Amino acid sequence: MPLSAEELRRYSRQIILPELGVEGQERLSRARVLVVGVGGLGGPVAMYLAAAGIGELCVVDPDQVEPSNLHRQVLFRTEDVGKDKVQVAAQNLQSLNPNVQVRGVRARLDASNALELIAPYDLVLDGTDNFTTRYLVNDACVLLGKRNVFASVLRFDGQLTVLGDPDGPCYRCLYPEPPPAGVVPSCAEAGVLGVMPGMMGILQATEALKLIAGIGTPLVGRLLLVDARRMTFREMRIARRPGCEACGTRTIRSLVEVDAACVVSPPVVPPGGVGQLAPRELHAWRAEGRSIQLVDVREGWEYEAVHLTDAVLLPLGEVVARVQELDATRPTVVYCHHGARSQAAATWLAGQGFREVWNLAGGIDRWSIEVDPALPRY
């Protein structure tokens, strides 16, 4: 349908762009876009796509709003804490632009539903924060012939590219296999400057609008690297990999979650390596009165907020300099917030000849869920 008088007024500042015009705006109004993850990246993406007049917008997310989201997830307010993200997002997006048909799906995108969720949409924007979902989004898009605008953030850094284009690579061309557990920390472990997801989300939305309207040169075969500390934008050429299982040889014909590939199998005998210890196992050990050296490698402010009784505070950055404060002959259990920092510290300690080293799987956050719900989470 042609644009109404109200729509012409609403979008007039972008319609007057010679590259867009009324025809380009009508393309936007006919487009159906799926945003996977409506957090730090997906929130700004959805806001700008709704404002630009995308015809149908679907947001998918399984989570509820948490206090720790609010410094970077600008689609939510303090009073939204505890509510479903997709419910709040859909209401706010619909209020932002009543012309857009908004749909919210409260679900975790997984191998059982990814194809069904993605199939109806023209374009997918990946705003997720974990490797399992990134590989699922990628593989589903390749199987369905959909383009995928991908972005990621960590600390002060961001990445952006367009995947799944017939002339370009997919996510598996860049990263054939997920990294081992503990190698790449999450934002919860490493931190993220609050504006970074917004910056990268806006760039994601820009690429989406270009692709839909057919203007400019999209980031196909190019990876944009953003360093906010130096405020530099660098570009890396990325090629399609002929042997890629997804878009090259096409040996991936169904969806399989990559969780198992991300898990490091714990050694049967800890000496010489690092064992993975579940919170309930550690709880049982402590109840039995075992002599355990418990080491907390988080920062001081985290320790002050919440810590396990009898834990020695030894921030990760100080482990090497202060290792003499520990007893290498005692069984040592290392923990942090979610398990990545402690894995790094435990591996180093094992390499220094510590007799028996264990990493607390899932960190103190998992402990508070499975063992002691009274402990505050952050």
10-residue block means of pLDDT along the chain (378 residues)?
92 96 97 96 97 97 93 94 96 96 96 96 95 94 97 93 95 82 58 92 98 96 94 92 91 80 38 80 91 93 91 93 93 92 90 91 91 88
DSSP 3-state of 149: strand
Count how many domains the chain has: 2
Q: Residue 340: what pLDDT?
A: 86
Same domain as 185, residue 63: yes
Q: Hunting for tokens 């705003």 — which residue is that?
A: 127
Within this chain, do residues 45 and 134 fall inside the same structural domain, yes or no? yes
User: 316 and 231: one domain?
Assistant: no
Rounded to the nearest angstrom, the gap between the alpha carbon of residue 167 and the centroid of all alpha carbons in its chain is 26
SS3 content of the chain, % helix, strand, coil (to 5): 40, 20, 45
267, part of any domain: no
* Distance between CA atoms of residues 343 and 358, nearest Å: 9
Residues 279 and 220 in one domain: no
Q: What pLDDT score does 187 carry?
A: 58
Residue 129 to residues 82, 88, 133, 194: CA-CA distances in angstroms?
A: 20, 20, 8, 15
The C-alpha atoms of residue 256 and residue 136 are separated, in whole angstroms, by 7
Last residue of some domain: 235, 262, 289? 262
pLDDT of residue 81: 95
In our burial notation (b when 16+ CB lie closer than 10 A, e otherwise), range 284-296 reads ebbeeeeebbbbb
Residue 194 and residue 312 in one domain: no
**Residues 96, 165 within the same domain:** yes
Range of the domain at 185: 31-262
Catalytic residue (choose from 170, 187, 244, 247): 187
Cα-Cα end-to-end distance for the chain: 48
How high is the pLDDT of residue 15?
96
Instruction: Look at residue 110 in the predicted model and tell me its pLDDT.
Output: 93
The question of whether 336 is a catalytic residue gets the answer yes
Asked whether residue 102 falls in the same domain as residue 183, the answer is: yes
> Has residue 286 been placed in a domain?
yes
- Residue 313: inside a domain: yes
Looking at the fold, whether 201 and 240 belong to one and the same domain comes out as yes
| Same structural domain, 278 and 200 | no
CA distance 248 to 241: 6
**CATH number, position 321:** 3.40.250.10
Name 196's Cβ contacts closer than 8 Å, sequence gap at least 6. Answer: 40, 72, 153, 155, 156, 157, 158, 228
- Regarding whether 213 and 351 lie in a shared domain, the answer is no
Instruction: Tell me whether residue 141 is one of the annotated catalytic residues.
Output: no
Q: What angle do CA 142, 73, 108 make, to 5 degrees?
A: 40
Shared-domain flag, residues 149 and 75: yes
The CATH number covering residue 177 comes to 3.40.50.720
One-letter identity of residue 102: V
Q: Is residue 18 part of a domain?
A: no
Residue owning tokens 């500390």: 229
Sheet holding 56-60, edge to edge: 101-105, 56-60, 32-36, 123-126, 147-154, 157-163, 222-227, 232-237
pLDDT of residue 260: 38
pTM: 0.72
Report the distance separating Cα 333 and Cα 153, nearest Å: 30
The residue type at 203: L
Q: Would you say residue 21 lies in a domain?
A: no
Q: Which residue, 61, 222, 83, is CA-closest to 149?
A: 222
Check residue 377 and give its pLDDT.
84
Same domain, 165 and 209: yes
Contacts of 162 (CB under 8 A, 6+ apart): 147, 148, 149, 150, 168, 207, 211, 218, 219, 220
